[in-house]
Amino acid sequence: MRISTIAHPSPLGDLLISGNEKFITAILYADLNTSLVDEAIEPSDAPALLRRCATHLDEYFAGWRRTFGLDFQQEGTAFQQRVWQGLLKIPFGQTGTYAELARQIGSDKSSRAVGMANGKNKINIIVPCHRIIGASGNLTGYGGGLWRKKWLLDHEKRIAHGVLSLF
């Protein structure tokens, strides 16, 4: 099935939403994935699922959405898939550590491998890799840049505590 990509504005810069009629396959930051920008099509020409994803993201940024009811699929090893599924279990507005996620997926001693798998996640925001922080509580790596990770975590904390965020 053909993969399409649309560019969609957000408070974090344009997002590139890729997928087909059945699955979202990526949500990437346009400024970090410039080769895909040229492939973006008009939203009106894109599969309905991509437009629905854009609406869900708008609702998330507006503070109205905490979960996403979208089908997505990304290629990865069985271990990576377990890590990405584990990320989905971290509640909105909360964080976890690499070691906690490793324990959760049954790989107690693989926090570094969890970090590597976390970094391979291509479905930003919906698969919330931004919710993983270092054991010390410090923000650690995020493919979109630490400033975006901080923004996302602050955004979710404000909403979780009843304060709507503003673009």
Tell me what pLDDT residue 164 has: 55
Looking at the structure, do residues 42 and 98 belong to the same domain, yes or no? no
Measured CA to CA in angstroms, residue 153 lies from 44, 74, 113, 128, 132 at distances of: 31, 23, 23, 10, 10
Looking at the structure, do residues 55 and 85 belong to the same domain, yes or no? no
Catalytic residue list contains 53:
no
Looking at the structure, do residues 53 and 102 belong to the same domain, yes or no? no
* 166 within domain boundaries: no
Looking at the structure, do residues 102 and 143 belong to the same domain, yes or no? yes
Looking at the structure, do residues 94 and 56 belong to the same domain, yes or no? no
Looking at the structure, do residues 150 and 113 belong to the same domain, yes or no? yes
* 73 within domain boundaries: no
Q: Give the gyration radius of the chain's Cα atoms.
A: 16
**What is the model's pTM?**
0.91
* 70 within domain boundaries: no
DSSP 91: P
CA dihedral for 24, 29, 31, 33, sign (positive or negative): negative
Residue 16: both structure tokens together: 């590139």
Looking at the structure, do residues 96 and 155 belong to the same domain, yes or no? yes
- As for how many domains the chain has, the answer is 2
Q: Which range (59-63, 108-112, 150-154, 161-165) has the least confidence?
A: 161-165
Could you say which of 129, 132, 133, 153 is catalytic?
A: 129
Q: What's phi and psi for 81, nearest 5 deg?
A: -60, -40
Tell me what pLDDT residue 136 has: 87
Q: What is the pLDDT of residues 43-54, one digit of tens each?
A: 999 999 999 999
Looking at the structure, do residues 93 and 151 belong to the same domain, yes or no? yes
* 141 within domain boundaries: yes
> Domain range holding 44?
4-62
Residue 25: both structure tokens together: 């396959």
Q: Name the pLDDT band for 158 (thresholds 50, 70, 90).
A: very high
Enumerate the H helices of 8-47 as residue ranges.
34-37
Tell me what pLDDT residue 33 has: 82
Looking at the structure, do residues 82 and 144 belong to the same domain, yes or no? yes
Looking at the structure, do residues 9 and 55 belong to the same domain, yes or no? yes
H/E run at residue 104: helix 98-104
Of 13, 37, 62, the one marking the end of a domain is 62
Looking at the structure, do residues 103 and 151 belong to the same domain, yes or no? yes
CB atoms within 10 A of CB 46: 21
Which residues, other chains included, contact 33 with Cβ-Cβ below 8 Å and sequence gap of 6+? 16
Q: What is the CATH number of the domain that holds 107?
A: 1.10.10.10
* 54 within domain boundaries: yes
Residue 41: both structure tokens together: 């099509």
* 167 within domain boundaries: no
